[in-house]
Structure 1
Amino acid sequence: MQFDPTLLETYHTLLQTTDLQKAYQEWLRMFRYLRGALEQQLPRYRFQGSVNENGMDYAYFSFADSLLKKNGLKLVAVFVPERFQLEVWLSGVNRVAQCRWASRLGSCPPPMECSSDPARTDYLVRLPVEADLADGEAVVQAMKHAVEQLLALLSLQ
């Protein structure tokens, strides 16, 4: 198996000439804090055990209460490194549930974005979260607000 030597050298250079490793560790500390704080402040929800990192495409953790779970839905806190953006996603527990809900949801107000193909995406609706990532409590409150906005789309409450 062959690997791209230019990309490997770029990574090596970044590690030697920047604080990439420390910056990543700090970001991960913030995202883990977010998960723990949301778990404490949203006690009716069950949270996935850990933060999942997906090859720097995005990192996430999911959570759901009994009503969401019963309806085949979950919420997902997501960080998209490419855009350096936090988001909250409303997702199906699987693609079948997600497609079933997509046909029921209809449109969503901006800045929410409905999936154009719920059979191929990991979300039904995604909502960007605006907050200063250095201010942990502000991030937690902004995420909670985004959760409330997404839940308002559903007629489950």
Structure 2
Amino acid sequence: METDEENAAILQSIASALKDEAILIFTTLNGLFPLSQNLNAFYADAKTEEGSTCTSTGFDLCTLRDHNTTTFTDDDGQEHTIISSERYYLPTELRTLLAGLGFTKVEFFGAHLGAFSRKNPLSQTDFEMLVVAKKELSSLTLVNLYTQACKAPLSEAYKLILKTLTLCGRELQKHLPESEVSGIYPGYLDMSYIALIPPNLKKRQLKLALVYVHEKGAFELWLAGRNRSIQAQVREELRGKLPSPYMLVEEAKGEDAIVQLRLGPLTDFTDMNLLIGKLCAMMHTMLQDLQPLLS
């Protein structure tokens, strides 16, 4: 990908999807290779019979990225040029990244096209490396990951999210004095929320919740009911009537929403007043849109 952050996010998503004891196998460019080999000499030797050529325009030792240009001719005789920035990884980098995601055993081998094998130890002459990592979230690994998270400014970020929700609640109460605003539900790093309960929703035993979903790093608005029976009744009442962008949420284990609105990239906390204003405005809009459907 274009950035190290995107590459790390991909690995994190994969790790989250894998079960404990799973094995992850992938290939990547070997950072040991350009530190000891001439890339342009390698590209010249690797020139294909079809006429594809690659030329390095500069290898950055600080970022371990090779900036190169590939030229090839397609079946219609048209010449094409692709400019790339390719990231090479050192084994130590990958070991640290994977260990932080719960992979306890990480092995590196030379990646030989069509002949991947543990019998090929990784060396500086291998253009690509084969990585084999085993995920094992043992009790010790879990505690270590928790300790690492505590060393980061986790508590400050958590407090900032709760502060945002609290200030939103105050703002809503100020502009909607006839409505009830619940106390904040902090959650356990899964979701945190406040709920707005105007008179028309209170009669139906409903509430509009402003929810921060920690795993997604995003705010959502949920229309929720007091219990499963009310949720089921209102869900059927609204089926086929919701305008875009509202989504009807089907009944499922652990699902509390009847209607959901994903607010998109609103998690810029640098301007707190602007963020709170946008969140409150969207809650007002959702109330206005749903009120005719619930009367």
RCO (CA 8 Å, sep 6+): is it higher in 1 or 2? 1
Q: Counterpart amino acid of 2:176? A: L
CA contact (8 A) 1:62 1:74 kept: yes
The CA distance in 2 between the partners of 1:60 and 1:30, in whole Å, is: 10
Percent identity for Structure 1 against Structure 2: 25
- 1:4 equivalenced with 2:133 (yes/no): no
**Larger-gyration structure (1/2):** 2
Distance 1:11 1:119, change over 3 A: closer
Is 1:71 paired with 2:204?
A: yes
Which shows bigger deviation, 100-109 or 19-28?
A: 19-28
Greater mean deviation of Cα atoms: 81-90 or 120-129 = 120-129
> TM-score, normalised to structure 2's length?
0.47
Q: Pick the aligned partner of 1:41 from 156, 167, 175.
A: 175
Q: Name the one with the larger strand percent.
A: 2
Structure 1 residue 66: Cα displacement: 1.5
Residue deviations 1:49-78 (CA, integer Å, cap 9, x gap): x21122111001112112111112111110
Higher helix share goes to which structure?
1
Write the deviation string for residues 101-122 of structure 1: whole angstroms up to 9, x where unpaired.
1111023334322112168521
Question: Is contact 1:78–1:88 with CA below 8 Å preserved after alignment?
Answer: yes
Q: Confirm or deny that 1:32 pairs with 2:162.
A: no
Q: Structure 1 residue 5: deviation in Å?
A: 2.1
Cα distance in 1, alignment partners of residues 258 and 252 from structure 2: 6
d(CA) in 2 for partners of 1:150, 1:77:
11
Provide structure 1 residue ranges, at least 5 long, that are not aligned to the other structure.
none
Q: Which 4+ stretches in 1 moved above 3 angstroms?
A: none
TM-score normalised to the size of structure 1?
0.83
Aligned-pair CA distance for 1:14: 2.2
How large is the RMSD of aligned CA atoms in angstroms? 2.2
Indicate which of 213, 226, 233 corresponds to 1:80: 213
The answer to whether the 8 Å contact 1:99/1:119 transfers is: no
